[in-house]
Amino acid sequence: MRYHIDTIPVWDAMRLDGECFLCALQRRTELAEADRYLGASVMEPDVRVRVNRLGFCRVHHAMFFAMSNRLGHALMLESHHQETADQTREVIARMKKAADAAAGAPLGKLSRSGAQAARDMAAAAEQLREMADSCVLCDSIRENMERYLHTVFHLYRTDSEFHRCLTSGKGVCLPHLADLMRVAPQELNARELAAFVDEMGRNQAQQAERIQEDISWFIRKFDHRFADQPWKNSKDAVPRTVNKLRGWCVGPEPNPKE
Ligand SMILES: [Zn+2]
Ligand SMILES: [Zn+2]
């Protein structure tokens, strides 16, 4: 099995005992990759080519913008913007050709040249959309997380302590539950798969009850009749519930400062 080498970061994330160890792992990957990409001067040529072509999504540009390396960001933008402008010009030229070919004919089903132009326009617009949505950082997070998912199943099968933590700890967020369930049939045999779904399902249900109690208690605390009652575990119920539903995005960083 070629994925089991990287068990240490997976175990490190699990030991944090947060609401989702995969979110902690993903955030750690994201920060490390962001550092790598922003260090534009040390970029290997093939990475540089990919960055120039694909660029970054708005979440990751916002992240770069908030970091202090304004020059690194500018250097990356200069060449990515140049390449995007060139590509945009080519796409618009194709749109113009399609529109000119249909000029004079009404657009829509009745005119064959009009329908062809509409299809060509849609394909070219789709290409602009893809250019607007691409992100090298999102891609590399996805690739890293796929590898980690394989490692998770390797540990689940071979490390009884990890097995216990995964199936009776605090559980995972909904997006990462989806990832685990998607990969499970590729990693487990039929008997293991049935056990995995059962164990994960039972634990997720228990954890959902815990979160539900916390958010309900948080709300109750706003009622003056409960003002003197303790907060219990509900003080951070809002960020924890959001993060459980959508993956970590609010509240304190999932990893401790290094
Ligand atoms: Zn998660
Ligand atoms: Zn991104």
Closest CA to 138 of 38, 248, 57: 57
For the cut 50, the answer to whether the pLDDT of residue 3 exceeds it is no
13 alpha carbon to ligand 1 midpoint, in Å? Answer: 11
Give CA–CA dist 235/101, Å, rounded. Answer: 64
Burial of 18 (C-beta count, 10 Å sphere; 0-12/13-18/19+): buried
pLDDT at position 109: 55
What average pLDDT does the chain have?
A: 92
254 alpha carbon to ligand 1 midpoint, in Å? Answer: 10
pLDDT at position 6: 86
194 alpha carbon to ligand 1 midpoint, in Å? Answer: 22
Q: Which residues, by Cβ under 5 Å, contact ligand 1, an ion?
A: 20, 22-23, 173, 176, 247
62 alpha carbon to ligand 2 midpoint, in Å? Answer: 10
Mean pLDDT across 37-52: 79
For the cut 70, the answer to whether the pLDDT of residue 242 exceeds it is yes
Confidence band for 102, pLDDT divided at 50, 70 and 90: confident
